[in-house]
Structure 1
Amino acid sequence: MIATSIFGGLLIGLASVCLMLFQGRIAGISSIVYRAIFQLKFESWALTFVIGLVLGPLLVAALNGPAAPVFDLAWWQVALGGLLVGFGSRLGSGCTSGHGVCGISRGSARSVVATLTFMVTGVITVFIMGMVL
């Protein structure tokens, strides 16, 4: 299991480096999705990236069978969570991948602060939800 995680991390790092070298872009998922869906200017690399985000898990499920559900939530709760994450990503000028993977590796102080904020908020949320549920 740890080897799979290390391999996945290496692929994320490699994809980030390739995107920076060949497109001059930072691999922030929220910005890429926004660019592919909402910008009027067509950018094939962004659209290809978003298509890969959708097809990748479908391919894994087709090859390995569907994963067992980890949580039991209604569709509207999942959709609301996704909207809140998207809103927070725009409000924070980037998401965990943009700040955590790319920003910190470029030495961005703003990304260090953002990533620490994500982590602390996540720990607090897990603690509170553990008490509530």
Structure 2
Amino acid sequence: NPASLGICTPQQLRAQSGCEGLRCIALQLAVTDAATINAYDDVLSVYDSAEALREKIMRPGDGAPREERQEPLSLREREIVVCIVKGMTNKQIADTLCISTHTVITHRRNIVAKLQIHSPAGLTIYAIVNKLVDLSEIRDTITEI
């Protein structure tokens, strides 16, 4: 259960068992931080079908070290990244997208968890590299160094 991650992490379980190839599968009962879920080999959701659950449980482990999974950003999260890159405040983003400021903050938290990028400058680089914005769109918001 990812909610009890502080009690025993998948890495601790593997070390204590002496089996580095041990598969740890999270049972996700509610929305869980992506960074927390990334520690697991797979995720079972209460919304998964019986067949999906069976397939995930029966899937053999490869024994290889786990790679961090990077979840793709949702359409709304990409819109918020573009707004951040354009220098908008949380309030301006909320007004532009017709959502609450609290929702903007939640999306920003999810973006950081998914991308592990903590600064607007880092998001700017991400947005340019992933073609979310064009340099001509944000030329005025980029300060000269």
**Same fold per superposition (TM over 0.5):** no
Which of the two has greater helix per residue? 1
Structure number with greater Rg is 2
- TM-score scaled by length of structure 1: 0.23
Compare relative contact order (CA 8 Å, sep 6+) and give the higher one, 1 or 2.
1
- TM-score scaled by length of structure 2: 0.22
Which of the two has greater strand per residue? 2
